[in-house]
Amino acid sequence: MRLKFNIEKLKDPSIRETFQVTIGGKFAPLLALEEDTETMTTRFNAIMTETANEVLGKHRHKNKPWVTDDILELCDLRRELKKTKNTERGAREYRELNKTVRNEMRRVKEEWIESQCSEIEDCFNRNNTKRAYQIVNDLTKPRQQKSNNIQDKHGNCLTEKDEISKRWTEYCSELYNHQINGDPTVLNCPQSTNLDDFPILREEIELAIKSLKNGKTPGIDNIPGELIQNGGENMTIFLTRLCNRIWETGEWPSTWTQSLIITLHKKGNIQQCSNYRTISLISHASKVMLKVILNRLTPQAEEIIAAEQAGFRKGRSTTEQIFNLRVLGEKYSQHQQDIYHLFVDFKKAFDRVWHDALWATMHKYNMGQKLIETIRQLYARAGSAVLMQGGVGDWFRTTVGVRQGCPLSPTLFNIFLERIMTDALEDHMGTVSIGGQTITNLRFADDIDVMAGSEEELMRVVHNLDTASTNYGMEISAEKSKIMTNNTEGIHTPIAVRGQLLETVQHFKYLGSIINEEGSKMEILSRAAQTTAALAKLKTVWQDKNISLKIKLKLLRAIVLSVFLYACETWTLTAELQRRIQALEMRCFRRILGISYRDHITNEEVRRRIRQHLGQYEDLLTTVKRRKLQWYGHTIRSDGLAKTILQGTVRGGRRRGRQRKRWTDNIKEWTERSLAGAQALAHDREGWRDHVYRSTVQRPHDPGGLREQ
In the 3-class helix/strand/coil scheme, how is 72-125 assigned residue by residue? HHHHHHHHHHHHHCCCHHHHHHHHHHHHHHHHHHHHHHHHHHHHHHHHHHHHHH
Dihedrals phi, psi of 449, to nearest 5 degrees:
-120, 110
**Number of other residues whose CB lies within 10 A of the CB of residue 651:** 8
* Interaxial angle between packed helices 620-637 and 675-682, expressed in degrees from 0 to 180 and rounded to the nearest 10: 80
Identify whether residues 251 and 108 lie together within a single domain: no
Identify whether residues 289 and 193 lie together within a single domain: yes
What pLDDT was estimated at residue 381? Answer: 94
Amino acid identity at 481 = S
How many domains are there within the chain? 4
Q: Which residues pair with 158 in a beta bridge?
A: 150
Amino acid identity at 233 = E
Identify whether residues 336 and 482 lie together within a single domain: yes
Domain boundary pick from 140, 175, 204:
140
Identify whether residues 231 and 334 lie together within a single domain: no
| 441-444 and 447-452 beta bridge pairing | antiparallel
Classify residue 47: in a domain, yes or no. Answer: yes
354 three-state secondary structure: strand
What is the DSSP secondary-structure string of 616-650? S---HHHHHHHHHHHHHHHHHH--SHHHHHHH---
What pLDDT was estimated at residue 502? Answer: 95
User: What is the C-alpha separation between 169 and 389, in angstroms, rounded?
Assistant: 14
Domain that holds residue 485: 321-347+414-516
Classify residue 36: in a domain, yes or no. Answer: yes
Q: What is the pTM of this model?
A: 0.88
Classify residue 649: in a domain, yes or no. Answer: no
Identify whether residues 206 and 104 lie together within a single domain: no
What pLDDT was estimated at residue 67? Answer: 80
User: What is the C-alpha separation between 542 and 544, in angstroms, rounded?
Assistant: 6
Task: Kindly give the parts of the chain with pLDDT less than 50.
Answer: 699-701, 706-709
User: What is the C-alpha separation between 228 and 5, in angstroms, rounded?
Assistant: 13
Classify residue 210: in a domain, yes or no. Answer: yes
Q: Which residues lie closer than 8 Å to 12 by C-beta, 6 or more apart? A: none
What pLDDT was estimated at residue 702? Answer: 52
Q: How many residues does the chain have?
A: 709
**Number of other residues whose CB lies within 10 A of the CB of residue 339:** 23
Cα-to-chain-centroid distance, residue 245: 33
Identify whether residues 500 and 559 lie together within a single domain: no
Identify whether residues 136 and 158 lie together within a single domain: no
Identify whether residues 121 and 19 lie together within a single domain: yes
234 neighbors 28 (Cβ within 8 angstroms):
yes
Q: Which residues pair with 384 in a beta bridge?
A: 259, 396
Identify whether residues 335 and 371 lie together within a single domain: no
Identify whether residues 430 and 574 lie together within a single domain: no
**Alpha-carbon torsion 85, 88, 90, 94, what sign?**
positive
Q: Classify residue 282 by its DSSP letter.
A: -
What pLDDT was estimated at residue 701? Answer: 45
